[in-house]
Amino acid sequence: MPLRDAPLLLLLAVSSMREFAILPDEAHSIVAQSGEALKRLLEKNIEAEESKMDPESVAEMVIGLFLRVVRRAQSQIRQELLGPQN
């Protein structure tokens, strides 16, 4: 996929989360399980680096930072595509 198409993909992925509430409980469970699996893998990586901080706490900070970066990118992409929203 060309890099120029990546922002649109991001926007579609984030926009699809808006409809997350209407998905069946099974879909919510799958998303929660995959999020927990990702967090455990991140914790293992942090642990392998022998961090002095608690791996679970660091993993939560990394995930929080990532989500903020994604939201900011989504906002910038929306402004580029739709113009400033009043």
pLDDT tops 60 at residue 9: no
pLDDT tops 90 at residue 67: no
Report the distance separating Cα 81 and Cα 84, nearest Å: 9
Report the distance separating Cα 15 and Cα 35, nearest Å: 18
Domain assignments of the chain as residue spans, ordered by start:
3-82
What are 52-64's pLDDT values in tens digits? 999 999 999 999 9
Residue count of the chain: 86
